[in-house]
Amino acid sequence: QEYRDKSTREEIETRRLQDSQTNPEETSPSEETPSEAEPTSTTENKAPPQISLLRNSNSRFNLWQDLPEIRNSGVLSILQPDEIKLQEAMFELVTSEASYYKSLNLLVSHFMENERLKKILHPSEAHILFSNVLDVMAVSERFLLDLEQRVEENIVISDVCDIVYQHTVNHFSVYITYVSNQTYQERAYKQLLQDKPAFREVISQLELDPKCKGLSFSSFLILPFQRITRLKLLVQNILKKVEEKSDRESTALDAHKELETVVKACNEGVRKMSRTEQMISIQKKLEFKIKSVPIISHSRWLLKQGELQQMNGPKTSRTLRTKKLFREIYLFLFNDLLVICRQIPGDKYQVFDSAPRGLLRVEELEDQGQSLANVFILRLLENADDREASYMLKASSQSEMKRWMISLAPNRRTKFVSFTSRLVDCPQIQCVHPYVAQQPDELSLELADVLNILDKTDDGWIFGERLHDQERGWFPSSMGEEILNPKIRAQNLKECFRVHKSDDSQRRKLGSRNRQ
């Protein structure tokens, strides 16, 4: 984790330095294939030093080039700078897997196999809490052994993405099982903390053990989900550094594609579990004044919900300055349906109109004074009565208005054109503070994420599209720093397209993905 944080911070600082330069140096890879040093027979006959390094989490050598064996070999004076960067990227994947495996082992030996905890938990509770973590750990161990064997073969690592590919295809399905159980796992953990004081006491004591390094039990439970996502980013980092049209580029593209498939399956597994429960909860709160619409569907999920102000009376009354010009309404926006309600006593909502999401249109009103600020028109081309209807709605802020407009009509043109059109040099921002999404239309960010800015508001919100996975959402502008240098923006786009070039059909879909 310390190495990862250091590496991420270095990536941020590098971009800052490049962005501040008026004439940045070209960052295109070298045309020549970097030379690799052949190991001497003496090196081949030595006991492999990398094994002890990978197993020892207290090692002070975080970088491949800092290893005594590398420094003493003279190989650093032979390799091209680009090859050294590639070696570091591959070395990070191996060492981070070793650290991850050690943490998994701690989860099992320190928590799961604790005798006091076993006596407290019913077998069914333990099964929900720990799921198939033993399978996940076995897969990690097998993966790590193959990676370590590759590192032993030569002090200059030949490749790791071919190993990543094989294990992703043949073994990483265990991650989908584990991650899909996350919703039940979180609920079971909260319930146990609430209902079983003995469980709460034992967990607290185990967390205080120096082995945990101040980390909570829940932070160990979420490790597999974090790891499969992180592996994809590590392979992306390698892909940026391999020589173009090489065998290593081909294996990196293959590995990335398979990892992306697993990550998507994991995300979908989590969403299905939580979405079903959320839809059941919403349906219980709705009372239909109009013809009832079935809410629960396997292909439906909530995109946004919240209160807006609806303008009363005919449109000619817009000029009236009265406190009762607007009244509250409540919207539930699903991926395929809009339901318009009024809140009634008992935490219930009375539905008085609805429309398919594809038949919604929005229009922003020009500023017409304070009472009509942040007002937009919502048009239902075909509502519950099979006729066209219009609503003049007022949001609490400019950002809330824009968020509703983009959610209601996702194909509406944003302020800036997405990079996927390749028509405009889109503004970019890099994340310097992590952010956890609070609403369905928001986007969680990790340090060093690079995003294209599609829209922004005067009150401090940005609608962005992350380059590495094309996920879209809102986040506070204070979480990032804008990238001003056009050459750096162009380089970021070049790296993004390279990651996805193995699937031309996928590239054609980038512009329409996740329009929510």
Residue 51 pLDDT exceeds 90? no
3-state secondary structure of 267: helix
pLDDT band, very low/low/confident/very high, at 272 (cuts 50, 70, 90): confident
pLDDT band, very low/low/confident/very high, at 510 (cuts 50, 70, 90): very low
The mean pLDDT value for 122-140 works out to 97
The mean pLDDT value for 133-162 works out to 96
3-state secondary structure of 516: coil
Residue 172 pLDDT exceeds 60? yes
The mean pLDDT value for 117-125 works out to 96
Residue 61 pLDDT exceeds 80? no
pTM of the model: 0.72
- What pLDDT sits at residue 52? 45
Check residue 372 and report its DSSP letter: G
- Which is more confidently placed, 468 or 70? 70
C-alpha neighbours within 13 Å on the C-beta side of residue 488? 24
- What pLDDT sits at residue 174? 97
Q: Does domain 61-279 have CATH number 1.20.900.10?
A: yes
- Given this structure, which CATH class describes domain 289-408? mainly beta
Do residues 10 and 2 make contact, with C-beta atoms less than 8 angstroms apart? Answer: no
- What pLDDT sits at residue 371? 67
pLDDT band, very low/low/confident/very high, at 270 (cuts 50, 70, 90): confident
Rounded CA separation 107/130 (Å): 9
User: What residues have CB less than 8 Å from 270, skipping those under 6 apart?
Assistant: 179, 180, 182, 183, 225
pLDDT band, very low/low/confident/very high, at 424 (cuts 50, 70, 90): low
Residue 367 pLDDT exceeds 80? no
Each residue's pLDDT tens digit, 82-116 = 999 999 999 999 999 999 999 999 999 999 999 99
Q: DSSP string covering 396-463, please?
A: SSHHHHHHHHHHH-TTSPPSS--GGG-SS---EEEESS-B---STTB--B-TT-EEEEEEE-TTSEEE
Each residue's pLDDT tens digit, 21-42 = 654 444 333 333 333 333 333 3
pLDDT band, very low/low/confident/very high, at 435 (cuts 50, 70, 90): very high
Average model confidence (pLDDT) across the chain: 85
- Which segments of 190-336 are extended strands (E)? 286-288, 302-311, 326-334
Domain ranges of the chain: 61-279, 289-408, 419-509
Each residue's pLDDT tens digit, 341-363 = 999 999 999 999 999 999 999 99
- What pLDDT sits at residue 267? 87
Q: Does domain 419-509 have CATH number 2.30.30.40?
A: yes
Tell me what percent of the residues of the chain surpass a pLDDT of 90.
66
The mean pLDDT value for 171-179 works out to 96
Rounded CA separation 395/399 (Å): 9
Look-up: residue for tokens 């998994």? 104
Type of residue found at 339: V
pLDDT band, very low/low/confident/very high, at 60 (cuts 50, 70, 90): low
The mean pLDDT value for 238-255 works out to 94
